[in-house]
A and B are shown apart, each in its own frame.
Chain A
């Protein structure tokens, strides 16, 4: 039985012309709440995936070996110049189907829609991070690298201890911007029936005809996530700021 307080709330909202009647149906309410959880889970898994893959890609992009740099460049250009939804279709309807067939039936396939969304959108973000980090790596002064070489660092050690830490600081504002885009891109999950907030809302509004109400909630929800992401970004920027560089605020 629904909470009397909730019923009261729904009734008050209705008197103002706001249709949130779905809250009294436990089934629809569960879909909706699950939608919030799924979106947050997507965001929480995608951000680390994109950052890790982005660093690896940036390292490959700036590598002196052509067999490493060229495929990374092709991947980055392909990812940045094609729609995420088309990439997701290729991966989910193409690659996933091939895997299912070679394993003998969809039941044997360990990868679900959630996995493909995280992989495709995560790598999409990674391509953008990689470009930002590459620009950062190239911005590290030659004298700094010479100093590191003089201290006996090898190429990989220079990347790990000198170039990446500096590149990360230079690229951080762009990376945070990319993460905001990434958060918005989680919505493509609805195309392959991952029950995130957009998908859940569609399920409800096709029954209840309350598009505007639910859309306002979605927009506020995404604004809130992105506010948190950009605040963490700002905090990190201040934390990691190199003393003696830039403008003090």
Chain B
């Protein structure tokens, strides 16, 4: 990180005029990056909730509960994120009529849905794997203590899964955070889109390169700590 800062400082000293223009664009770029964070946090939150339900459904004893969840997970784990973002953007309405009033349904929210769908499919698999890694004896002992199936799941099994799924969940979070850049292709004003705006407005080769490198460094600064933390957790939880 220090090396990057040193290179940036050196470059700014050599090219003061370019640095001034770039600094002028920082607020606009920062606004874009806030959008990336918003999209990724919302997508992972929705995806986690739906994924948790789907993961539990995948292990249900009844076939009619299991089959739809397995099909959903299979389809959307194989689907490219970009295709889902395009599909939600073009196929969903721009406003929804709810209880008589109309609520706007902006493009960034559609991008959230487009990323939440594959996120939920991946989380379902993570949850399923974690539940299956808990010894069966725990289910039996909980049963003998009078816990119902759902209560066993809620109070005994899932709390233990939380720790096991954390590294995989964080990996997915980083992947969704990087996926949020795809929203630029459907016109959402996030960081990459802001950089394109800036580069078309300034029209200088060196600025274009500088601004895209800024985008690259910003994403790196967001995702690299997550990946380091994941590696540390993986080592700590390793048996």
CB-CB under 8 A from B81, the residues of chain A are: 184
| A88 → B minimal CB distance (Å) | 10
**Contact between A85 and B182 (Cβ–Cβ < 8 Å)?**
yes
**Contact between B224 and A77 (Cβ–Cβ < 8 Å)?**
yes
Q: Mark B198-239, 1 if CB is under 8 A from A, else 0.
A: 010000010011001101100110011001000000000000
Q: What is the CA–CA distance of A222 and B82 in the complex, to the nearest angstrom?
A: 12
The number of residues on chain A lying at the interface, defined by a beta carbon within 8 Å of a beta carbon of chain B, is 37
CB-CB under 8 A from B174, the residues of chain A are: 81
The answer, yes or no, to whether B91 is at the interface (CB within 8 Å) is yes
CB-CB under 8 A from A191, the residues of chain B are: 185
The 8 Å CB contact of A219, one of B75, B179, B195, is B75
The answer, yes or no, to whether B102 is at the interface (CB within 8 Å) is no
The answer, yes or no, to whether B87 is at the interface (CB within 8 Å) is yes
CB-CB under 8 A from A180, the residues of chain B are: 78
B: residues with CB less than 8 A from A are 75, 78-83, 86-87, 90-91, 174, 178-182, 184-185, 192, 195-196, 199, 205, 208-209, 212-213, 215-216, 219-220, 223-224, 227
CB-CB under 8 A from B86, the residues of chain A are: 198, 202, 215
Q: A82-B219, A219-B78 are in contact. Are A94 and B209 (CB under 8 A)?
A: yes
The 8 Å CB contact of A93, one of B75, B199, B227, is B199
| A120 → B minimal CB distance (Å) | 12
| A202 → B minimal CB distance (Å) | 6
**Contact between A218 and B182 (Cβ–Cβ < 8 Å)?**
no
* CB proximity to B under 8 Å, residues A187-213: 187-188, 190-191, 198, 202, 205-206, 211-212
Chain A interface helix/strand/loop/mixed: helix
Q: Mark A98-141, 1 if CB is under 8 A from B, else 0.
A: 10010000000000000000000000000000000000000000
| B94 → A minimal CB distance (Å) | 14
The answer, yes or no, to whether A226 is at the interface (CB within 8 Å) is yes
Q: What is the CA–CA distance of A192 and B19 in the complex, to the nearest angstrom?
A: 28
The 8 Å CB contact of B220, one of A82, A101, A198, is A82
**Contact between B192 and A89 (Cβ–Cβ < 8 Å)?**
yes
**Contact between A86 and B78 (Cβ–Cβ < 8 Å)?**
no
CB-CB under 8 A from A84, the residues of chain B are: 178
Q: What is the CA–CA distance of A226 and B76 in the complex, to the nearest angstrom?
A: 13
CB-CB under 8 A from B184, the residues of chain A are: 85
Q: Mark A162-200, 1 if CB is under 8 A from B, else 0.
A: 000000000000000000100011111011000000100
| B19 → A minimal CB distance (Å) | 17
**Contact between B79 and A219 (Cβ–Cβ < 8 Å)?**
yes
**Considering the complex of A and B, which 5 residue pairs feature the smallest CB-CB distances, nearest first?**
A83-B181, A184-B80, A83-B178, A81-B223, A187-B82
